[in-house]
Amino acid sequence: MRYTPRDQRHRGLLLTEDALIDALAGIALDAGALIMDIYRTDFDARVKSDNSPVTEADEKAEALILERLASLQPDIPVIAEESVAAGRIPELKDRFFLVDPLDGTKEFLNRNGDFTVNIALVENGVPVLGVVYAPARNLIFTGGRESGARIGRVEGDGPVAYAPTAVRPAPQEGIVAVASRSHMTDETREFVDRFTVTDLVSAGSSLKFCRVASGEADLYPRLGRTMEWDTAAGDAVLRAAGGKVTTVDGTLLTYGKRNQADDSDFANPWFVAAGGFDPFKEAESA
């Protein structure tokens, strides 16, 4: 077990950004260990009302994360995927957590390793810190508005070996784009075709944000439906690494969207994630 509150005096305190990131990383590591225990078994899946799959790993990981967050910061509400699906939506405040306990359930079912645990803190609509853990890849990414972005290699139960990471400058000739493995759309392909792309990489879950944040890719367009818990943690990591996530009209993606006239609560519009490469500037000059 990676994180346990040391005593009751630590419950509900406003931690420093570094301390909170470390605590969230510990929670994500424990959730990832639970997920991997199930991943190694002959597990089953069922279909939710929105036709998306859910497994025992999704539900048990979310229960663990919710319990730990309640001990860590009980005054901060949590919006979590499976809880929302069950109709459990707390009243939002200026600060709230967004949780996807198993992002990339289709990747989990296909056993290709491209699934993650996502935990983010949102303040006034902005994802200010986030943790993305890929337990099958032994990789964890963290990002904070003040702390910057890190990538860590997870080796057993020992300490995580972290190193700072950042987006790369815009390349002079051609870019690397990353796109959804399970949700590629015609609109996304058309968007990518606006640019000179030397390599188009398919990946699952919020690892696509992390590829841009670590300088492995320059662009991740998602012209298709996503939910806030799918994107907030990866968005936070990418912003901390020097990138940004915008809607297709160039405005920054925001969080805590309720009572939307054209979609459900917490649904995202189409978005574009980028590092040092500015797709809107390039499109204008093309």
The binding site for Mg(2+) consists of 81, 100, 102-103, 230
Structure tokens at 188: 């996304």
Give burial (CB, 10 Å; 0-12/13-18/19+) of 87.
Answer: exposed
Q: Tokens in use for 172?
A: 């002079």
Torsion sign (Cα): 142, 145, 147, 150 = positive
How far apart CA 162 and CA 267 sit, in angstroms, is 32
Cα 177 from Cα 192, distance rounded (Å): 8
Give the DSSP H or E segment for 35: helix 17-39
Decide: 152 and 213 in contact? Cβ < 8 Å.
Answer: no
Residue 241: CA count within 13 A, CB half-sphere = 38
Q: Following CA atoms 130, 144, 179, 168 in sequence, which dihedral angle do they give, to the nearest 10 degrees? A: -160
How far is the CA of 72 from the CAs of 13, 63, 121, 142, 171, in angstroms?
8, 14, 13, 18, 42
Distance (Å, rounded) from C-alpha 79 to C-alpha 120?
10
| Binding-site residues for substrate | 81, 102-105, 230
Binding-site residue ranges: 81, 100, 102-105, 230
Q: How many CA atoms lie within 13 A of 144 on its CB side?
A: 13
Which pair of tokens denotes residue 237?
A: 């990591």
d(CA 136, CA 152): 13
